[in-house]
Amino acid sequence: MSACLFCEIVARRAPAQICAEDDETLAFADLAPQAPVHVLVVPKRHIEHFGTLQPQDGELLGRLAQTVQLVAGQAGLAPRGYRVVCNVGSDAGNSVPHLHLHVLGGRRLAWPPG
């Protein structure tokens, strides 16, 4: 089994443009941005996806939300708005099996998204 790309980024064994970090989360620029601002926010601990979260992960979800808010604020997205997306499974477009939130903004985003 190959190593998880996001775990490699967290461990600093793979390159990434880091935007924010705390003890439990890491935020970095998406390599294939879909908006002028496209940042991924991940837990440092490997969790496969949103559907595999456990009841004890509630505090971690709060930390992820705080990191999303920090990233949006740093990028100047908060006044006009931004989108937070969490894809679960291949049908949703998830290509890296490590829980991650997409923070997208910097332009008017269309709806529906896909």
Cis peptide before 112 (omega within 30 of 0): yes
Residue 100 known to be catalytic: yes
Which H, E and C letters describe the chain, residue by residue?
A: CCCCHHHHHHCCCCCCCEEEECCCEEEEECCCCCCCEEEEEEECCCCCCHHHCCHHHHHHHHHHHHHHHHHHHHCCCCCCCEEEECCCCHHHCCCCCCCCEEEEECCCCCCCCC
The residue from 38, 49, 98, 100 that is catalytic is: 100
* Active-site annotation, residues: 100
